[in-house]
Amino acid sequence: MKPTREFNDKFLANEDQFQDPFFKRFTLRHAPAPLKLNDEVTKNYLFPTFYGDVTCAMAIFLCSYERAEKMMLHPKIKPIRMTRGRSLVAFSCYEYKNVMNVVPYNEIAMTIPVMVDPGFNVPVLPMIMPVFKNFGYYVFSMPVTSLENQIRGVKIWGLPKVVQEIDIREEGNDCVTTAMEESGEPYLELRVPMGGMPSVFDVSSNLYTRRGTDFFQSPTHFRGAFNVTKHMGMLLKKNARPDREYIRIHDTPCGKVLKDLDIEEHPFQFRFARHMNSCFDLPNPDFKSATISFGE
CATH number at residue 93: 2.40.400.10
pLDDT at 290: 52
Place 126 in a pLDDT band, splitting at 50, 70 and 90: confident
Query: DSSP E strands: which ranges in 117-172?
Result: 135-144, 161-163, 166-171
Where would I find the H helices in the chain? Answer: 65-70, 147-152, 253-259
38 lies in a domain? yes
pTM for the model stands at 0.95
Place 131 in a pLDDT band, splitting at 50, 70 and 90: low
pLDDT tens sequence across 48-102: 999 999 999 999 999 999 999 999 988 889 999 999 999 999 999 999 999 999 9
Q: What is the DSSP letter of 151?
A: H
Q: What is the mean pLDDT of the chain?
A: 94
Containing structural domain, residue 125: 15-280
Percent of the chain residues topping a pLDDT of 90: 85
Q: Give CA–CA dist 118/251, Å, rounded.
A: 35
148 lies in a domain? yes
Q: Give CA–CA dist 199/195, Å, rounded.
A: 11
pLDDT at 295: 53
pLDDT at 127: 80
Place 118 in a pLDDT band, splitting at 50, 70 and 90: confident
Q: Give CA–CA dist 119/139, Å, rounded.
A: 22
pLDDT at 117: 82
Q: Please, how many CA atoms are within 13 Å of residue 63, restricted to the half-sphere of its CB?
A: 27
291 or 259: which leads in pLDDT: 259
233 lies in a domain? yes
pLDDT at 296: 43
286 lies in a domain? no
pLDDT at 228: 98
157 lies in a domain? yes
Residues 6+ apart with CB under 8 A from 209: 73, 138, 139, 157, 158, 159, 160, 215, 216, 218
66 lies in a domain? yes
pLDDT at 17: 97
180 has pLDDT over 50: yes
How many domains does the chain fold into? 1
pLDDT at 237: 95
36 lies in a domain? yes
118 lies in a domain? yes
pLDDT tens sequence across 13-59: 999 999 999 999 999 999 999 999 999 999 999 999 999 999 999 99
